[in-house]
Structure 1
Amino acid sequence: MTEREKMLAGQLYDASDSDLKSERLSTRQKIMAFNQELDRSKRSEMLKSWLGSTGEYIMMEPNFVCDYGSNIHVGENFYANFNQTFLDVCEIRIGDNAMIGPNCQLLTPLHPLDAEERIAGLEYGAPITIGDNVWLGGGVTILPGVTLGDNVVVGAGSVVTKSFGNNVAIAGNPARVIKQL
């Protein structure tokens, strides 16, 4: 397996692999161009050509950072407010009609607890899956391996450490169900 294949499979991989480093450098150039673009429609077109897949309507405000972009898949009618961080060493999949508040983080990378492995530059990850009609309030952090069902609302500032099913409002650190919807 290549280091990229290991990465996407959630296995330990060498983040300093030359192909991965090259891909991240190319992504940094896309990030710079995206974050400097004032025209909303041009930013949307940039995302459509850069991300793994998108719906027809996608809108994201600057600033946006990610590792690769190609591992991010968003559905139709996607909106993300200012200052998004989507670290996509594993896939991030977001359904239709998603609204993401400002300053959110979707984090797929994990680092070994073993110091020697960590120091050697090995890392791994776990995918994030978010259903349809989800609203993430401002400052939400979604940790690796989390799946959120359809019609989920996540309160501002929440840290989502585990998965939740459909039709719930969750909030807190760690996030917990506060209301059935």
Structure 2
Amino acid sequence: MSELNKMRLGEFYDPNDDSLCKMRAHARALFEKYNQTSHEQSQLRVELITELFAKVGQKFVIEPTFHCDYGKNISIGENFFANFGCVILDCAQVSIGDNCFIGPQVGIYTACHPLSPIKRNRMIEYAKAVSIGDNCWIGGHATINPGVVLGDNVVVGSGAVVTKSFGDNVVIAGNPAKVIRTITEDM
């Protein structure tokens, strides 16, 4: 089985495999070019992100600088916004719904490393997908860890470290993140 297939299946894989290194180099070339664009080059920005990501909605804004591993594992919905300094380590799928807004310096991570130092020193890793529902707002400097699923209408407080999944209509904050409020229609 190829290292790419192992990675996609969430099994241990060698990230230094030649084909994976080439895929990351291609993604790096695209996001480095993207990060050099100006606001006036909006059409070029759209073209670069459309080539980099697996799926994009009609309307999106990603402020430079942006970094990712592969890009092809990222899907974003309609009306997406990511502020400055967003990092998405997409060794597994990262799916983000419609009307989602990401604050500055947010990290979304799918890469996992073995706890055992013997395995870790072999430079192998595995990945867990991340899914973010519709109408979510992730505050600045928040971290979304591997395997997290966030429902619809979730607000993540600034600096939160999200280590587990949460359902719909909640505000979460803290380290580790926990529910601090339920969102209701009258808010």
Is the pair's TM-score, using the shorter chain for normalization, greater than 0.5? yes
Q: Give the alignment partner of residue 45 of structure 2, picking from 43, 46, 60.
A: 43
> How many angstroms does 1:27 deviate by?
1.3
Is 1:81 aligned to 2:115, yes or no?
no
Is 1:108 aligned to 2:110, yes or no?
yes
The root-mean-square deviation of aligned C-alpha atoms, in Å, is 0.8
Q: Secondary structure at the match of 1:14?
A: coil
Aligned to 1:180: 182
Aligned to 1:147: 149
> How many angstroms does 1:42 deviate by?
2.1
1:35 corresponds to which letter in structure 2? N
Taking only the aligned residue pairs, the percentage that are identical comes to 48
1:21-170 matches, within 5 Å, as 21-38=21-38, 39-170=41-172
Q: Is the 8 A contact 2:31 2:48 kept in 1?
A: no
Q: Is the 8 A contact 2:132 2:152 kept in 1?
A: yes
Instruction: Supply the distance in 1 between the matched residues of 2:23 and 2:47 (Cα, whole angstroms).
Output: 20
1:36 corresponds to which letter in structure 2? Q
Q: Secondary structure at the match of 1:122?
A: coil
> How many angstroms does 1:120 deviate by?
1.1
> How many angstroms does 1:72 deviate by?
0.3
Aligned to 1:13: 13
> How many angstroms does 1:149 deviate by?
0.1
Instruction: Supply the distance in 1 between the matched residues of 2:61 and 2:42 (Cα, whole angstroms).
Output: 7
Q: Which segments of 5 or more consecutive residues in structure 2 lack a partner in the other structure?
A: none
- Deviation track 1:25-66 (CA, whole Å, cap 9, x = no partner) reads 111111210100112332122111210101111110000000
Q: Is the 8 A contact 2:95 2:132 kept in 1?
A: yes
How many residue pairs match? The answer is: 181
Instruction: Supply the distance in 2 between the matched residues of 1:37 and 1:28 (Cα, whole angstroms).
Output: 14
Q: Secondary structure at the match of 1:13?
A: coil
- Deviation track 1:118-172 (CA, whole Å, cap 9, x = no partner) reads 1111100100000000000111100000000000000001000000000000000
Higher percent of residues as strand: 1
Q: Is the 8 A contact 2:77 2:98 kept in 1?
A: yes
Instruction: Supply the distance in 1 between the matched residues of 2:56 and 2:68 (Cα, whole angstroms).
Output: 16
> How many angstroms does 1:89 deviate by?
0.3
Q: Is the 8 A contact 1:55 1:75 kept in 2?
A: yes
- TM norm structure 2: 0.95
- TM norm structure 1: 0.98
